[in-house]
Structure 1
């Protein structure tokens, strides 16, 4: 009888140890998951407040500009979709996005890293148009809306011709891809 009681006591004790270890493991897993959450939430949306923007004329292809956005903040930021661009102060609508340039993933820019967008300013197939001296830039948020704060850039050479064929690429991680379409 004593050996049966000892066996039951040892079995019960072993079960309690296994249950306690399982509970500790579960709690540790929960702590690991919550510890990872703040890191994921520390990535912000790229805006005109945390990036520096420049626009330059591309030597190739013709009729193209290159827009560069560099993360100047202290946290990584997401460059969602493509920028909303307003060619000239009187523009009524943003330039359309070139859907064929949609990247496979959202670009995340570490501090100091850059994203690029290619801008086709005009084509012989386009209609109307005129020379514009400024380019208004809005970033896009996760939902595809404007972040709300515009940055106005002066265009190279005192002005650039835009017509109805003007389009902009999605953000790319390098200038060559932004200008290859």
Structure 2
């Protein structure tokens, strides 16, 4: 990072979260763009991908592996993004207007912290085909 101190991991408390519908107007919400804005006063690292685990789900939402990056480092006021596909598997449907999004640490396989409940643009139907990308800037 060019001579300065390395950025610490982002904390939920230093971020603002939003989710926007990326589908054609009038169509069911299936494609979402998750956006985090760094509201803190220092750069911070977002590692891997948003960890999404719905209540009663058998497993966390799967990640789209070919979007892998090392991490995103938004500066104060900066943003990072992840795309979220709500479904396609048609099993275990779950309708909700919020998603529990946890941030991951730099250690793969470590337990994510407490989730932020991110409001969705209305009621969205998720199922076992849901997928999320890695964080991107």
TM-score range, shorter chain: 0.7 to 0.9
**1:122 and 2:122 correspond:** no
Per-residue deviation, residues 109-134 of structure 1 (Å, max 9, x unmatched): 111110000000011x4423131222
Per-residue deviation, residues 58-104 of structure 1 (Å, max 9, x unmatched): 136x72111101111111101111010134x444532111101112x
Q: Which runs of 5+ in 1 are unaligned?
A: 1-35, 174-181
The structure whose residues are more often strand, as a share, is 2
| Partner in structure 1 of residue 59 of structure 2 | 93
The structure whose residues are more often helix, as a share, is 1
Q: With structure 1 as the length reference, what TM-score do the two structures score?
A: 0.65
SS of aligned partner of 2:49? coil
For 1:40 and 1:154, locate their aligned partners in 2 and report how far apart those are by CA, in whole Å: 34
Alpha-carbon spacing, 1:68–1:146, altered in 2? closer, same or farther (3 Å)? farther
- Quote how far apart the aligned CAs of 1:146 are: 4.0
- Contact 2:51 2:112 (C-alpha < 8 Å) held by counterparts: no
Larger Rg belongs to? 1
**Which 4+ runs in 1 deviate beyond 4 A?**
none
For 2:59 and 2:71, locate their aligned partners in 1 and report how far apart those are by CA, in whole Å: 24
- Contact 1:47 1:149 (C-alpha < 8 Å) held by counterparts: no
Alpha-carbon spacing, 1:147–1:72, altered in 2? closer, same or farther (3 Å)? farther
Q: With structure 2 as the length reference, what TM-score do the two structures score?
A: 0.84
